[in-house]
Amino acid sequence: MAENVGQEKIRFNHPDDLHLVSKSGRFGKLKFIATQEEAMNQHRALYASEFNSKAPAGSNITVASAPRLLINNQVSNTYKTNNWQQIKKLKDQANQDLMPIYTNLQKFADSRAWVGVQEEKADGGEIYYMCYDNRGNYVWSYCPTTIPTSDPNNPKVSFNAPTQFGQYSYTTSIAGIHSYNINLTTKLTTSAISLGVGIFAAKILSKGLNFTTADLTTLLTDGFAAVTDINIDIVFGLAAAAAPFVCFAVVFLVVFIGLQYLWGFLNKQFQIEVSVYNWDKNNDWNILVQALSNSINPGQDTTSNININIKEPVSPGEINPYGPGGAYGLPPSVGSHLLQSTQTAINYAYIVYKNQSTFMQGNSFAFNCVQGKSNKGFTYAFECPWTASNGHYMDGTSQDPNAFLKKGNWIKNTSPLTVNTAGVSIEATIDSLKGGDVNGSQNYQVAIHIAKNQ
């Protein structure tokens, strides 16, 4: 399958290009197993023979952890120094690398977006699903295991399957990974779970950032129905308390480090992208509550309790599929290459805000963030007025975001704001006061670094 992109002909999912994923087998070798259509037929035949009745409703999805970037030292320094020009270049490069793959996933979500691959080992290897091109770019969906579990809030759930979705941009050498907990009422093979999540991811791309929470459960149910057919009816739900975190994870799936799957602009629509990077080697950080003024996040209305956990950083080589942070266990061949080519694994929160009413109204928000389970932390607020310059401010204590937002102590400057709290330094920077990005859209960036000098 090939597609012309500009003057370049891009080929997708051809067996002869699979060596590009694991770099000619130097870090492990993959073999082509099946097309998506072949895999779906195999799974349906399996479940037709194993299950004679429908599974009970009650499966659900939660997020295992916030997104993680695997990057080299040069890219790490670009982010730490808020080099907005270079960051924009990285985003554009990643966009050129991955947008054709994302478009391919959208177009063929139901039939041939994915292919099954397997580690070449004498005793067989894990099977998961990829979409890749002949330039060295790829995405993957990978479930390493299913774990018997119980959920006091949902007694129908019997199995948990941490399933990872990942992207890799060849030009930037940046990988982005995040993982969902797929909580199931019926045990499925890890291969079937990988494909079900992959189909869900391909379908959600067609929604862009205009998805709703109802879309998430509907499309996830559709993805698993495509794999198991009518012989096992898995219907997913989404608990209200888990919805914000799931929505933020899906935003990362859609835009990665800034792909152009953004909202269309009606009247004057402001989009603020906030990245909170945790460089604190000793502590997780938690964004607890937000306050919104004419502001909304993708997939939800005006949720206040967001409870985003940003884990402490680890080196890429410390990623363990079954230990702490186990949701990030990488597929072996993919992982071996990425661990050799990157030096830093950074966890971060990626939050998008847009103005709810687009007619003569801007967009303002605030949130608090604390270290671990303590009450020590900081509070940050941002204002994007309709006509005036942007402003923000920050305090080295965790405060009520609603009261903090109303203070309005706006600092209209792109120089870093710095506070100290819980023994570390917090730095916040905005990319522009007005005029939007270089393309003239009303799109602004906020970068908050926790303990970046550690």
For the chain, which residues score pLDDT lower than 70? 1-8, 24-28, 50-54, 122-124, 258-269, 300-302, 315-328, 358-361, 436-441
Phi and psi (nearest 5°) for 155? -65, -15
pLDDT reported for residue 151: 80
Q: Does the predicted TM-score (pTM) go above 0.85?
A: yes
Q: Answer for the pair 132, 20: CB distance below 8 angstroms, yes or no.
A: yes
Reported as a single tens digit per residue, the pLDDT across 351-409 is 999 887 765 567 899 999 999 999 999 999 999 887 789 999 999 999 999 999 999 89
Q: What DSSP assignment string belongs to 343-376?
A: -EEEEEEEEEEEESS-SS--EEEEEEEEETTSS-
pLDDT reported for residue 267: 44
Contacts of residue 55, defined as CB under 8 A and 6 or more positions apart, other chains included, come to: 185, 186, 232, 233, 234
pLDDT reported for residue 321: 43
Q: And the tokens for 340? A: 């050799």
The amino acid at residue 253 is L
As a whole number of Å, the end-to-end CA separation of the chain is: 47
pLDDT reported for residue 220: 94
pLDDT reported for residue 398: 98
With tokens 């073999």, the residue in question is 31
CB burial class (10 A; 0-12, 13-18, 19+) of residue 86? middle
Contacts of residue 289, defined as CB under 8 A and 6 or more positions apart, other chains included, come to: 304, 305, 306, 367, 368, 400, 401
CA atoms 15, 18, 24, 30: torsion sign: negative
The amino acid at residue 281 is K
Q: Answer for the pair 414, 430: CB distance below 8 angstroms, yes or no.
A: yes
Q: Answer for the pair 71, 346: CB distance below 8 angstroms, yes or no.
A: yes
Q: Which residues pair with 352 in a beta bridge?
A: 273
Tell me which residue of 241, 263, 247, 250 sits closest to 213, measured CA to CA: 247
With tokens 């370049």, the residue in question is 8
Query: What is the SS3 assignment for 60?
Result: strand
The amino acid at residue 158 is S
Q: Which residues pair with 395 in a beta bridge?
A: 379
Residue 314 is classified by DSSP as B
pLDDT reported for residue 261: 46
How far, in Å, are 131, 202, 328 from residue 101 at the CA level?
Answer: 7, 10, 22
Contacts of residue 443, defined as CB under 8 A and 6 or more positions apart, other chains included, come to: 262, 270, 271, 273, 436, 437
Q: Answer for the pair 391, 248: CB distance below 8 angstroms, yes or no.
A: no
Residue 321 is classified by DSSP as S
d(CA 21, CA 155): 41
Q: Ramachandran region of residue 82, left (φ > 0), alpha (ψ -120 to 50) or beta?
A: left
Query: What is the SS3 assignment for 409?
Result: coil
Domain ranges of the chain: 2-262+314-348
Extract long-range pairs of 380-389: CB within 8 Å, 24+ residues apart.
380/428, 380/448, 381/405, 381/407, 382/272, 382/274, 382/430, 382/446, 383/408, 383/410, 384/270, 384/272, 384/355, 384/442, 384/444, 386/268, 386/360, 386/361, 386/362, 388/434, 389/433, 389/434
Helix residue spans in 280-414 (DSSP H): 332-341, 401-407
